[in-house]
Amino acid sequence: MSIVSVNKNNFFSRYSRVPHVFLSQEHLEIHLRQDNKCLYLVDSNSGLGVFLKTCGESARSPYAAPFGGFFSKDERTDCTLINQFIKNLTIYLISIGLKDLRVSLPPSIYAVNTTTKVINSLMNGNYKIKFIPEINSHISLNYYDKSDYPKNLKESIRKTFRSNLKIEEVYEDSEKLIAYKIIEENRKSKLRKMSITYSHLRQLDEVCKSRYFMVKNNEGESVASAITFTSAPKIIYAQFWGDSLLGRSLNAMDFLTVSLVDIFKNEGWSTFDLGVSTEDGVPNSGLLRFKESHLFTSTIKFNISIDLI
């Protein structure tokens, strides 16, 4: 069999670049603990690879991240090699006693060729597989033109300027904590939890090149915030964002979104990734409508679950 299990350093030495930051060795090592098990698997024929967290009888990707996926040395890898890699991977996992494989594939803006061909291989293969279709939103900043905003959004944006809202990137620890707290309270109001603690988030600052933004009203009160990661070269990812109760009456999220798009376009980023608007495949219609009104494009990303036996 062409699937080979290697150690962590050997695995990462094979790939000069990774599809996104959540598959980087640096991101992985922040989350690894002595009691965690991880498989580093490579295909000696195609150069394709994957690292998987094992939980009981299950293998999973990503490892403590919004999405994971597969490694390739060349985005032009032939479909037949990908088909064989997926087949050999499932056989290998069965041989070591695992019963299912779960992978949250990245949105199509990351390693688009490999991701597309992996999905094609899984759909055409003879696997006991479940696809959960998530809706991801991104904007191509090279083609962004605010004159395309719908009329009602233009009025909301004008309202935010009449309210004298201002956005600033914050650098002090105390202000970064406020940015986190705004988002945390926003999620609590919607009966949702933060996926990571503030201290955990700060551990990711260097690896993910975290940036913290705050929207303030004319009295200097913080009414909305966003925390972004550099997810890949030229792609910036909104890891967290949200507004306060006061911010909602000021359309602070409209102002935050427009302002971030302007900032990132002027800085030369190619893509702003706003993440998913679904949970287990079920759309949050209001959130999706908000993103699309701001000219973000909706695309499918897949979470997959394969029964190996």
Which of the listed residues 61, 92, 126 is the one where a domain comes to its end? 126
Judgement on whether residues 183 and 62 belong to the same structural domain of the protein: no
pTM: 0.95
- Statement to judge: residues 231 and 113 lie in one domain: no
Pair (181, 113) in one structural domain:
no
| 179 sits in which H/E element | helix 173-189
The C-alpha atoms of residue 92 and residue 60 are separated, in whole angstroms, by: 14
The predicted pLDDT at position 34 comes to 53
Q: Of the candidates 58, 44, 46, which has an alpha carbon nearest to the alpha carbon of residue 3?
A: 44
**Cα 221 from chain centroid (whole Å):** 30
Is the same domain home to 235 and 193? yes
- What's the burial of 203, exposed, middle or buried (CB within 10 Å: 0-12/13-18/19+)? middle
Quick one: 58 and 144 in the same domain?
no
- Domain match, 120 and 144 both: no
Are 282 and 236 in a shared domain? Answer: yes
Query: CA-to-CA distance for 224 and 236, rounded, in angstroms?
Result: 19
Q: How high is the pLDDT of residue 167?
A: 98
For the domain that residue 237 is a member of, what is the CATH number? 3.40.630.30
The predicted pLDDT at position 162 comes to: 87
Q: How far apart (Å, rounded) are the C-alpha atoms in residues 29 and 65? A: 12
HSE-CB for 103 with a 13 A CA cutoff: 24
Say if 133 falls within a structural domain.
no
**Does 132 reside within a domain?**
no
- Are both 107 and 148 inside the same structural domain? no
Last residue of a domain, one of 77, 102, 126: 126
pLDDT digits (tens, 9 = 90+) for 22-67: 999 999 999 887 556 899 999 998 999 999 999 999 999 998 899 9
Residue 273 lies in a domain: yes
Question: Which pLDDT tens digit goes with each residue over 20-33?
Answer: 999 999 999 998 87
Q: Are 290 and 252 in contact (CB under 8 A)?
A: no
Look at residues 100, 126, 152 and tell me which one is the last residue of a structural domain: 126
**Same domain? 102 vs 172:** no
Amino acid 64: pLDDT = 85
CATH of the domain at 82: 3.40.630
User: How would you classify residue 234: left for phi > 0, otherwise alpha for psi between -120 and 50, otherwise beta?
Assistant: left
On whether both 143 and 269 belong to a single domain, the answer is yes
How many distinct structural domains can be found in the chain? Answer: 2
What is the rounded end-to-end Cα distance, in angstroms, of the chain? 19
Q: Looking at residue 35, what is its pLDDT?
A: 55
Token digits of residue 189: 């109001």
Tokens 């295909």: give the residue: 43
Which structure tokens are listed for 121?
A: 């291989």
Distances (CA, A) of 53 to 29, 137, 305: 12, 27, 14
How big is the CA angle at 252 (ends 254 and 189), to the nearest 5 degrees?
110
Task: Please report where in the chains the tokens 């009025």 appear, as a residue.
Answer: 155
pLDDT of residue 256: 97
Whether residue 262 sits in one domain with residue 153:
yes
- Residues (pLDDT < 50) of the chain are none
Range of the domain at 286: 139-300
